Amino acid sequence: MTSCLSRIVLTAGLTAFLLIAAPVAHADAGTKTVGTAQGFDETVARLEKSITDNKMGLVAQASASRGAVSRGVKIPGNVVLMVFRNDFAVRMLKASVPAGIEAPLRIYVTEEPAGTSITYRTPSATFKPYGNSELDAMARELDPIFAKIVADAIEY
C-alpha cells in the first residue's frame, strides 16, 4: 500500500514538474507575470473563483508543493491551474488537431517571500506557432478572458 502511494505521489510530482518546466522552453513576450501581496492559498482560491466567474473551467491542478507535503517535505507553494472550456476545445480541434496538446491552458501560481506570483502564457502566444487563422481568432477571444481571470483574482 505504501509503495503504491509513493508511486502516485512521485507520478504527481513528476507530472507537475513537466507541466511547469514545459512552458519555460517556449517562454517569450506572451508570458505574463503579476505579483500580489496576497498569500499563496488565498491567491489560489481567488483564481479558482475567478475562473468560474469568467465562465471557464478548472480542468485540473498539479502541485509539487502539495505532493511534497504528503512526503513530509516543505517547499514554497506552487500550483498549475489548467483552464479551458469545451466549446473552445471543439473549435481548437476543428482548426488543428495538433494544437490539442496546448489545452488546457495553464496558470502557474508560486509562493514568493513577499506574496505570490501568477504567471500565464497568453493564448495568442500559445497558439501562434500553428499559423492557423481560426486558432488565432479563438486565441484573440481567450486573451482578454485570461487577463480578466488574473485581474479579478487580484481585485477580489
Q: What is the pLDDT of residues 44-70, one digit of tens each?
A: 999 999 999 999 999 999 999 999 999
Sorted by sequence, the CB contacts under 8 Å of residue 98 that are 6+ apart come out as: 130
Query: In this predicted structure, what is the pLDDT of residue 115?
Result: 93
Cell numbers placing 52: 468560474
pLDDT at site 43: 98
Q: What is the pLDDT of residues 73-130, one digit of tens each?
A: 999 999 999 999 999 999 999 999 999 999 999 999 999 999 999 999 999 999 999 9
3-state secondary structure of 17: helix
Q: Read off the CATH number of the domain in which 140 is found.
A: 3.30.310.70
So what's the pLDDT on residue 129? 97
Predicted confidence (pLDDT) at residue 21 exceeds the cutoff of 90: no
Domain that residue 67 falls in: 2-155
The number of distinct structural domains making up the chain is: 1
Interatomic CA distance for residues 47 and 65, integer angstroms: 18
Q: pTM, whole model, 2 decimals?
A: 0.80
